[in-house]
Structure 1
Amino acid sequence: MTSLAMTNKIYEQALDLPADDRMVLIDKLLHSANLPTQMEIDKLWAEEVEKRSKDIESGKAKLIPGEEVFRKIRKRFGK
């Protein structure tokens, strides 16, 4: 049996579980994926904001007015 076939079989079996048990399974699967926590994501965003702010202040990043951005979008996509 291929990995995809096995995954589909497990999925079909999981659908037969009561909702509470499916939620427990979902929680366990998500934790097993080693995804970043919301706190880690927030920290990464704060670091990115700080980096971009420094790039703007140093002149490394060029700001483009919103009106210009939307004008270019309308020109490119015809709306």
Structure 2
Amino acid sequence: MKTEDLLREIESLPVEERARVADSVLKSLNPPESEIDKKWAEAAKRRLDEIRSGTIKPVPGEEVFEEVWKRFS
């Protein structure tokens, strides 16, 4: 099967299936590293626990980007 044919077939799939194809292709180009994934998951869980316990207060993304633009403009 030619690449163009394959791409046309993929484009005809429902969005969920196209997302699965894209995810699979990306993983084949950059395989996940389980140790790094584990550390990211641990960091995400720790941050979620901090938010839920009130230890930290989340900052809305709009405020973060506004501050970034101020610093670099």
Structure 1: which 4+ aligned runs deviate by more than 3 Å?
none
**1:38 partner amino acid:** E
SS at match of 2:67: helix
Tell me which residue corresponds to 1:40.
35
Where do residues 31-70 of structure 1 align in structure 2 (5 Å cutoff)?
Answer: 38-70=33-65
SS at match of 1:61: coil
Q: Structure 1 length as normaliser, TM-score?
A: 0.47
Sequence identity (%): 50
Structure 1 runs not aligned, ≥5 long:
1-36
Task: Tell which structure's C-alpha radius of gyration is larger.
Answer: 1
Q: 1:32-64 deviations in whole A, cap 9, x for unaligned?
A: xxxxx8111111111111101100101112211
SS at match of 1:56: helix
Q: How many pairs align?
A: 42
Tell me which residue corresponds to 2:71.
76
CA RMSD of aligned residues (A): 1.6
Whole-Å separation in 2 of the counterparts to 1:42 and 1:76 = 32
Structure 2 runs not aligned, ≥5 long:
1-31
Whole-Å separation in 1 of the counterparts to 2:64 and 2:40 = 23
Q: 1:3-58 deviations in whole A, cap 9, x for unaligned?
A: xxxxxxxxxxxxxxxxxxxxxxxxxxxxxxxxxx8111111111111101100101
Which has the bigger relative contact order, CA under 8 A and spacing at least 6?
A: 2
